[in-house]
Amino acid sequence: MLKNILAITGKPGLYRLVSRGNNMLIIESLEDCKRMPTYAHDKVVSLADISMFTEGDDIPLHDVLEKLKNFEKSEPVKFDIKKASNDELRSYFARIVPDFDRDRVYPSDIRKLLLWYNILVKTGNTDFSVSDENEAESVLVEDKVEKAEHKVNTKSQVKTQKSSAVTVKTGVGAKRG
């Protein structure tokens, strides 16, 4: 489920991937259901690809969200996230992930995670597990994208070969004259 939920740098909130177009994605805001395009210059990240720093190995975001869901009993976070101090955020997050890396996980990261969690809970997206079905679907989508890119690259190579053949003919003709 998290594979289709996207975070976009510079835009608040979370978005659902609706469709793919030429050089763009069609996304829908989880909060107000407004659809809009996002282009190649926008930095788009799937929540399934995000992880949190710990003292040991990094923890995938879906595990952190699952721990948060169990801690909050599937309810939104009860305190005011925006007004909480940095120490309050760190102590709260330490109850959920005790071994998080306090040097590399900033209070703004914790605040953003808690805001995302609240959005997901309010919109009913509480299945944070990674299923084989979603992975198989994402592999199929990635294969389609790679095939499309291969077709574009092949067409570009053919055009390059044709233009270089013209250059060679011109070059040969120039030597004769």
Q: Which residues, 6+ apart, have CB-to-CB distance to 40 below 8 Å? A: 23, 24
Phi, psi at 123, each rounded to 5°: -95, 5
| Residue 146 pLDDT > 90 | no
Query: What pLDDT, on the 0 to 100 scale, is given for residue 116?
Result: 95
Condensed to tens digits (0 to 9), the pLDDT of residues 12-62 reads 999 999 999 888 999 999 999 999 999 988 999 999 999 999 999 999 999
Reading the block at residue 54, the tokens are 């710990």
| DSSP codes of every residue in the chain | -GGGEEEETTS-S-EEEEEEETTEEEEEETTT--EEEEETTS-EEEGGG-EE-BSSSPEEHHHHHHHHHHHHTTS---S-TTT--HHHHHHHHHHHSTTB-TTTS-HHHHHHHHHHHHHHHHTT----PPPHHHHHHHHHHHHHHHHHHHHHHHHHHHHHHHHHHHHHHHHHHHHH-
> 130 versus 64: which is more confidently predicted?
64
Model confidence at 131, pLDDT cuts 50, 70, 90, reads low
Q: Rounded to two decimals, what is the model's pTM?
A: 0.71
Q: What is the mean pLDDT of residues 130-147?
A: 49
| Residue 165 pLDDT > 70 | no
Query: What pLDDT, on the 0 to 100 scale, is given for residue 145?
Result: 47
3-state secondary structure 38-56: EECCCCEEEHHHCEECECC
Q: What is the mean pLDDT of residues 119-137?
A: 72
- For 81, other C-beta atoms within 10 Å of its C-beta total 19
Among 61-70, 73-82, 92-101, 138-147, whose mean pLDDT is lowest?
138-147
| Residue 171 pLDDT > 70 | no
| Residue 170 pLDDT > 80 | no
Query: What pLDDT, on the 0 to 100 scale, is given for residue 144?
Result: 47
Model confidence at 133, pLDDT cuts 50, 70, 90, reads very low
